[in-house]
Amino acid sequence: MLISDSMSLLWLVYAVLSLVVLLTGYLGLAFLPRLPRLVVTWAVAGVMWVPASFRLPLLEEGEFYTGLAPAVVVAAITFLENDAAAMLPATLLVAAGALVGALLGGLLGWQRQRRAEGKTPHRPRGATPSQKDEARRREPVIG
């Protein structure tokens, strides 16, 4: 059950909160053009959503708890613990997630830009702006 299993509930809450952070970040970058905004947002998504494995010692001698957590959290915890051996893989995963996210965001923005360019009506050569206006659909006016 979702409520009794705390790890699945923790991941669900993390997913919802990360989506809220991404949406507010995207809306906060409204001053940027669409392509850089998508690249930055997807890079942050890549950083937030890449999982990494971790290993924590338990109270009993020689026993460890292993699991998955967001790589940025694992990198932050290993940085605070000064554990360079565990920090390197987590940091590389964070960098790879940011790179893949930025590439996906750039690809998505480029695809949307090409699709928008394809939908704009092109006027024939030598056509004046008045001929272009006649070719467009005009809305009916009452009165």
**pLDDT tops 90 at residue 132:** no
**Per-residue confidence band for 16, with pLDDT thresholds at 50, 70 and 90:** very high
Please answer whether residues 39 and 105 qualify as being in contact, where contact means their C-beta atoms are separated by less than 8 angstroms. yes
**pLDDT tops 80 at residue 123:** no
For the stretch 43-84, pLDDT in tens is 999 999 999 998 888 888 888 888 889 999 999 999 999 988
Please answer whether residues 102 and 90 qualify as being in contact, where contact means their C-beta atoms are separated by less than 8 angstroms. no
> What does the pLDDT read at residue 58?
85
> What does the pLDDT read at residue 90?
93
Q: Which of 125, 70, 78 is nearest to 94 (CA)?
A: 70
For the stretch 79-114, pLDDT in tens is 999 988 889 999 999 999 999 999 999 999 999 888
> What does the pLDDT read at residue 80?
94
